[in-house]
Amino acid sequence: MMDYKEIIAQYDGKAGGIIEAYHALLREFSYLPEEAIAEAARVFKLSTAEAYGIATFYSMFSVEARGKNVVRICESAPCHVAGAADVVAALERELGIKMGESTADGKFALEFTECVGQCQATPVITINGKPYLDVSPAQIPAIIAEYK
């Protein structure tokens, strides 16, 4: 596992590069640890408060530890009418957690997202950014199994 300092160093010198650095940190750690935010502040010459403010602004970033595989279900209007609520119930059942929580083994986090731009195939979930289309509650166990 790469050290967070090494990850951030790759973006040193890139104007406005803190967001790209945060994305790289997410790929490794699944969230933004406090030490990493402080390091990013140092490298990009921001206050820790500013760096923290950037981390907490964007919905894809998390400053709290969460499950490694981030499962998101779209709750925007087109997915909402297509039956997202039933898929939510299936996800909560399959993972044994509620929306917004992570599994005890640290493998999965369950979150809402707003529209991910796959509205031709609602309802939609994403896992680590990869879209799954036309998702029915029945498909959830098999989809989750891919990541177990």
Residues 30 to 49 in contact with another protein, rule: CB under 8 A: 44
Of 1-9, 20-28, 101-109, 135-143: span binding another protein (CB under 8 A): 20-28
Q: Do residues 70 and 111 lie in contact, with contact meaning Cβ atoms separated by under 8 Å?
A: yes
Half-sphere exposure of 45 (CA within 13 A, CB side): 5
Question: ∠ CA(96), CA(25), CA(44), 5° rounding?
Answer: 140
Q: Which amino acid does the sequence have at 67?
A: G
Contact with another protein (CB under 8 A) among 13, 47, 105, 117: 117
Distance CA 127, CA 12 (A): 29
Q: Which amino acid does the sequence have at 32?
A: L
Which positions from 58 to 97 touch another protein by CB under 8 A, shown as an x/- string?
A: xxxx-------------xxxx-xxx---------------
Contact with another protein (CB under 8 A) among 65, 115, 127, 143: 115
Residues that bind another protein in the complex, under the rule CB under 8 A: 15-20, 22-23, 44, 53-54, 57-61, 75-78, 80-82, 113-122, 126, 129-130
